[in-house]
Chains A and B, each alone.
Chain A
């Protein structure tokens, strides 16, 4: 029982990270209807930026952990946002209105570019990171097994929830959010009504990338190791989360992320660690076949 409870905590924390990445997929899919294949790699870039920032800050003698984390969060999210903007500007915008496969292939190319750019600039070796927030709260002990809620997990949960609240406010209550939803409904019409669609789409990419970078920072802190390849697998899993939650739905993305995090953790704990990626991929396949609208997605009536 205690073991299961620990898995539940771990699964939810992992799910938060997937949820943050999934929000980026779902937003971009909602607004321009394409799978932003490079999104997982933006997450990876965010993790590297966080690593660099934390190392610089500790080199500068900033010992306060909350301060270092806050500065890193802002730095990583900002620069990753710039990456998101650049990717959209360079690889997707020129292809808007082009034939169906073009943006997807361009996105695959961008993903390869980002991966190999990081490999070339930062090296192919796995980067370890010393634990920043050791310790935690012991919730209960059963048969010598202590259920632990680490400070790290608490921090990840709080930051994720705060970001999601802020983000939900942005989408539902601000003019920018209204412009985004309008573009999602009908881009041409939104343009005719005076909404700068190019700018709105750019901002969507920037926000999605910033959230992915925060997820990257958390991944780095939580696992303590990163390499240039983490983006691919995490990206596919986060995409699965977005699909499971219902693509285009923001609460769905978070819900899907939590579900994928839990499934993966429990699968690894009780079945097999080697096949944990198979579990996530199989869920993707099953969801798409049997429940293509996801948990919270809108039913899509085929227009004839």
Chain B
């Protein structure tokens, strides 16, 4: 299972006169965890926003290939279809949970498209038609499995906004997984976590990659500042600086690459306390 899942080809994104991403090309392979790293302002989140349809790239192509061989041109697809058809899910740097809704509800909203294939079906359900009840039971079962996987079963009926920070991060990942993705994009999942929580997160991500003890399995693409996490779990690392790729390879190769060292040292205090750097 190592066919190229996502291929980014000559991706360029300009905002006015500013070139945030400049002719970037890389591949993420199926069944792997690919990390995109780089100093602040390197264009990592912009790449993510292009992949997940929040920005439309100025130039370049983004192609996603399913195991079935079907390909999807992400750069020209509507945002919600990227999740729905191409099955790319994402989380956000600043957690975006539905804070006033319960943990369970958050996980059910993520299964919206399974529960409600179309509007007519959604309206028929008002009168108890359209096989809704069975679908809802299945959705709750799936939500339960994920709550178990992230250890939040006893908090199922609590509003998501009342959870501790680390739990919110894990819930957001579980919620994204409920959309049945083939590729999960994580924007700084370890930001703001303490070392223990970061360890838990690493193991959760690896379990998702391998499909161990969780209800789903998919490849991962992550932006991360916490080098500990990146080096421990990544199969493949892409390093960006000023919108360009400066290195690409296994964690060991990247760590030894003089370009990478120069980029990080040149930027100053990256690396050690990069976790605290909030903004990209």
Contact = CB atoms under 8 A, between A and B. Distances in A.
Contacts of A301: 15
A304 to B, nearest CB: 5
B243 to A, nearest CB: 16
A193 interface: no
A166 interface: no
A302 B15 CA distance: 12
A304 B15 contact: no
B16 interface: yes
A304 B15 CA distance: 15
Nearest to A302: B54
B253 to A, nearest CB: 31
A299 interface: yes
Interface in B7-50: 15-16, 45, 49
B95 to A, nearest CB: 12
B92 interface: yes
A298 to B, nearest CB: 10
Contacts of B45: 304
A304 B16 contact: no
* Interface residue tally on B, bucketed by range: under 10
Interface in B85-113: 92
Nearest to A301: B15
Interface in A57-109: none
B20 to A, nearest CB: 10
Nearest to B46: A304
Interface string A286-304: 0000000000000101101
Nearest to B90: A304
A302 B49 CA distance: 10
Contact of B92 (A299, A302, A304): A304
Contacts of B49: 304
Interface in B60-98: 92
A301 B15 CA distance: 9
Find the residue from A299, A301, A304 having the highest chain B CB count within 10 A: A304
A299 B15 CA distance: 10
Interface string A103-130: 0000000000000000000000000000
Given A304-B49, A304-B92, A299 B54 contact: no
A302 B79 CA distance: 13
Contacts of B15: 301
A293 to B, nearest CB: 13
Contacts of A304: 45, 49, 54, 92
Contacts of B54: 302, 304
Interface in A170-228: none
7 contacts: A299-B16, A301-B15, A302-B54, A304-B45, A304-B49, A304-B54, A304-B92
Interface of A: 299, 301-302, 304
Closest 3 CB pairs of A and B: A304-B54, A304-B49, A301-B15
